[in-house]
Amino acid sequence: MGFIKGILGSIKATIASGFILAILIALFGWESNGSFNILELTVWIHVVAGITWIGLLYYFNFVQVPAMGEALADDGGPGPAAIGKYVAPRALLWFRMSAALTWLTGVSALESTGVGIVNAFTFSSPIIGVGAWLGTIMLFNVWVLIWPNQKKILGMVEATADEIAKAKVTAAMASRTNVLLSVPLLLSMTAFAHGNLV
Residue (of 94, 92, 95) closest to 152 by Cα position: 92
Q: Give SS3 for 75.
A: coil
> What pTM does this model have?
0.86
Which of the residue ranges 23-27, 61-65, 117-121, 186-190 would you say has the lowest mean pLDDT?
23-27
In the predicted model, what is the mean pLDDT of the chain? 89
Question: Sign of torsion, CA 170 171 176 181?
Answer: positive
Q: What span, in angstroms and rounded, lies between the C-alpha atoms of 198 and 127?
A: 6
Question: What is the average pLDDT across 85-97?
Answer: 95
Q: In the 8-state DSSP scheme, what is residue 10? A: -
Q: What span, in angstroms and rounded, lies between the C-alpha atoms of 156 and 150?
A: 8
- Looking from the CA of 153 toward its CB, the CA atoms found within 13 Å total 22
46: CB partners within 8 A, 6+ apart: 102, 105, 106, 108, 109
Q: Give SS3 for 194.
A: coil
Q: What span, in angstroms and rounded, lies between the C-alpha atoms of 29 and 147?
A: 40
pLDDT tens digits, residue range 140-162? 999 999 999 999 999 999 999 99
- Helix, strand, coil percent content, the chain, rounded in steps of 5: 80, 0, 20
Give, for 43, the enclosing helix (H) or strand (E).
helix 38-59
Which of the residue ranges 27-41, 79-93, 106-120, 175-189 would you say has the lowest mean pLDDT?
27-41
Q: What span, in angstroms and rounded, lies between the C-alpha atoms of 152 and 168?
A: 9
